[in-house]
């Protein structure tokens, strides 16, 4: 079981159970955090942007060039942090148990 601590856009925190084997975006979307995931993981919409807890950020797989480009495109609209990620690019498995993320603002 993989439990992820999520801070929503209002600042409230809650634990959700993330499904192993699917991208974190789907769990956040289905749990009602206001994540659209419109493009389905194609890295073309930027609606699943999250900030990863600083301690966790280095433990995730590195950003691809396409993910970095999409994040960069968001910079005109929302704050980017060093730990900004597209949650569609974070595959969930047991090693992420205890991960803490914050939902980034909507563009």
Partner 1 sequence: MGDQINLKILLESQGLERSPFPIPTGWFFVDYSDALKAGELRNVTLFGQEWVLFRTESGKPGMSDPYCPHLGAHMGHGGTVCGEHIRCPFHHWEYDTAGWCKNIPYGKVTPPIVKKQAILRTLPMVEKYGMMWAWYHPLCAEPTWELPYIPEMEDPTGYTGSRRGSWTADTCIQEIAENGVDTAHLKFLHGAPMIPPVEATYDGPRMKLDIGKGYIVGDVYGPGLNVMRFNQHGITATMISYTQPISAEKSRMNMSFRHVDYPAGTPELAASKKVIDHMIGAAEGEESAGFESVDFIVWNNKKYRPNPLLCDGDGPVLQFRKWFRQFYTNLDAATLAKI
Which residue ranges make up the site for partner 1 (CB under 8 A)? 39, 43-46, 66, 69-70, 72-74, 76-77, 107
Q: What are phi and psi of 68, to 5 degrees?
A: -60, -40
- In the complex, the smallest distance separating the C-beta of residue 2 from partner 1, rounded to whole angstroms, is 29
- In the complex, the smallest distance separating the C-beta of residue 68 from partner 1, rounded to whole angstroms, is 9
DSSP annotation of 20: T
Nearer to partner 1, 29 or 49 (CB): 49
Nearer to partner 1, 92 or 103 (CB): 103
Q: Hey, is 73 helix, strand or coil?
A: helix
DSSP annotation of 21: T
Nearer to partner 1, 43 or 96 (CB): 43
Which are the contacts of 33, defined by CB distance < 8 A and separation ≥ 6? 6, 8, 9, 103
């Amino acid at each position: 079981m993989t439990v992820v601590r999520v801070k929503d856009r209002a600042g409230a925190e809650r634990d959700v159970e993330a499904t192993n084997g699917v991208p974190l975006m789907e769990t956040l979307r289905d749990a009602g955090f206001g994540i659209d995931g419109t493009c389905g993981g194609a890295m073309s919409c930027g609606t699943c942007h999250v900030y990863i807890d600083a301690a966790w950020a280095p433990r995730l797989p590195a950003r691809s060039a396409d993910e970095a480009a999409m994040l960069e495109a968001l910079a005109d609209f929302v704050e980017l942090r060093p730990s900004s990620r597209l949650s569609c690019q974070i595959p969930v498995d047991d090693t992420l148990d205890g991960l803490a993320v914050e939902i980034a603002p909507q563009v």
